[in-house]
Structure 1
Amino acid sequence: MVRRTFTLLAALLLALTLVPPAHAAQAEIYVALGDSAASGPLVPNQIGPDFGCLRSDRNYAHLTAQNIGASTLRDVTCSGADTTDMYQPQSTELGDVPPQLDALTPDTTLVTVQIGANDVGLTGFIEDCLNLLPPPIGDACNDDYIENGQDTWRLKTDALRPRLTTLVSDIRARAPQARIFVVGYATYARPNGCYPRVPIIRADANYIRATLLYFNQMLAEQAAGAGAGFIDLQTPSVGHDPCTAPGVRWIEPYVPAAPAAPFHPNALGMRGFAVAVTAAVTGVL
């Protein structure tokens, strides 16, 4: 009886070793969508085939794909992209690139999308606030965005809400199996700034900070409403803003000290963002 029981158990264990687990993890097919905050302009190494997109092989999408062992990465992030470039070809200095949504396929399992800053003119907005001379000679920029008592930057942010909801829906239609994550933007200004190290005066630094907080909150709300995840990059990048020293900062100032576009992530920043993105997509937050 004991021998028969042992034989049956051995046979059962052998059978279990021959049958793969029903819920074995599948390697991700990952599509990264987004603008220059995701593509990594000037961060080594810049790669093709779409060289006009200024895309780095060390951006957070590539690093995350390595971290999670993705079987496929289709990184179509592109500098200068806005929400219209999800649907139609984007013109770059080195030629047109296909609509980003064309990278999605029915077998896609993971999508990150970081978009919207160019719709509202984020980079131009920050550059407008650069002030080489402090008041009273230099002018503050924050009041330039108030018209008839309303903050035009916030109005543009709110106008983007339905487009983001539609975008998530359209991603899901093309990639019904995919988990979708909207990625927020980093910390570009600390409270009160650090004039003259970064030549943005205190009032303008606080305005930039407040408007970016509002913008990221909008992204989080739209992601939640559309049933997508949201990845916060603002919180982990606190203490790594352009005011901090080289080797600490994740976002370069107007005159970069590391290979990166002004007010864009450097290689260290991309590594920090990859930690946040990896944690979010693997559920180990």
Structure 2
Amino acid sequence: MALGDSYAAGAGVPGQSAGLCLRSDHNYGHLVAAALSASSYVDKTCAGAKVSALTAPQTDAGTVVDGPQLDAVAPGTSLVTLTLGGNDLGTSDLGFVDVVVACSGLALTNPLGSPCHDFYGNTLGKRLDSAAARLTDGLRKLSAKAPQAKVVVVGYPSVLPGDPTKCLGKMPVTTGDIGFLRSVLGELNDKMAGAATAAGATYVDTFGPTKGHDSCSASPWIEGLLPTSPAVPLHPNATGERVMSQAVLRTLGH
């Protein structure tokens, strides 16, 4: 079973399901299930999902997009993969992308500085602390519903490079703020890992395996703000989803 947001759903990667959840039949959950020859598989991932989507209906402009993801968990569920937390960074369902867009606008006010860092300060860290606490609680509820299930929390990939200058001309964000945003991603993954540990789940790092193939690289596995292969902006393409699936399988011993 797969739960989570657009990174887990494979948003934009062919082939896409109908509806607003943007689930791909080549997202990492599908690929893991196929590699394990799973007898059954349920995909409840949904683009725009925040941690609250585990226990409450996910809505968009007042319309219910999907029911609580944990409703699909059964007592006999044996494996659950999950990526959640990134959308809790933003004020809209776009999450991290929402923050990057804000940083792009702020870049015009101080092209040589870090206006986005100045604007957000420690706000994003506080949002992550809150999201991590909710994720820990959600993971515990998941385990209560499926006591025998192995729960795998899958982290976010390397969306931005370690060298901010590689994004010059490719990302309308100041060099200083590229570094800031990358540190936010690192903190997001750290909080997810902490939530997994606190709830007795397993954390899978996908940041390391995708390093060097970020949205500003010459060979991106995570697309830029203007994707050149099928995927939504700043999200894994088909190769990125495959690499994420391989990281999960290594953790599972396959």
Normalised by the length of structure 2, the TM-score is 0.90
User: For 1:215, which of 170, 178, 188 is the aligned residue?
Assistant: 188
Aligned residues of 2:51 and 2:131 also touching (Cα < 8 A)? no
Q: How many residues align?
A: 245
Moved more, 188-197 or 38-47: 188-197
Shift of 1:201: 1.8
Quick one: distance in 2 between partners of 1:279 and 1:92? 36
1:140 to 95, 115, 124: 115
Secondary structure (helix, strand or coil) at the match of 2:128 reads: helix
Larger RCO (CA under 8 A, 6+ residues apart): 2
1:256 maps onto 2:224 in alignment: no
Per-residue CA shift, 1:212-249, capped at 9, x if unaligned? 1111111111211211100111111101100112xx21
Match 2:8 to one of 15, 30, 38: 38
- 1:128 and 1:81 mapped to 2: Cα distance? 20
Aligned 1:18-167 pairs, distance under 5 A: 31-48=1-18, 51-92=19-60, 96-121=65-90, 122-130=96-104, 135-136=110-111, 140-146=115-121, 151-167=122-138
Query: What is the CA–CA distance in structure 2 between the aligned matches of 1:137 and 1:186, rounded to whole Å?
Result: 27
1:191 Cα deviation after fit:
2.3
Q: TM-score, normalised by structure 1?
A: 0.81
Ranges in structure 1 where 5+ consecutive residues have no aligned partner: 1-30
Question: Within 2, Cα distance between the matches of 1:60 and 1:114?
Answer: 10
Counterpart position of 1:11: none
- Native 8 Å contact 1:52 1:92 kept in 2: no
Q: Which moved more, 1:255-264 or 1:197-206?
A: 197-206
**Quick check: 2:113–2:176 contact (8 Å CA) kept in 1?**
no
Superimposed CA distance per residue, residues 85-127 of structure 1 (whole angstroms, 9 cap, x where no aligned partner): 1112222588532211111001100011111111122221122
In structure 1, what is the Cα distance between the partners aligned to 2:211 and 2:111?
Answer: 30
Cα 1:92–1:58 shift into 2, 3 Å: farther
Task: Give, in whole Å, the separation in 2 of the partners of 1:67 and 1:264.
Answer: 23
The alignment partner of 1:227 has SS state of coil
Tell me which amino acid in the other structure corresponds to 1:191.
G
Cα RMSD, aligned residues only: 1.9
2:9 and 2:23 in contact (8 A); partners too = yes
Aligned-residue offset at 1:139: 7.0
Sequence identity (%): 40
Q: Indicate if the aligned counterparts of 2:112 and 2:175 stay in contact, CA closer than 8 A.
A: no
Secondary structure of 1:75's counterpart equals coil
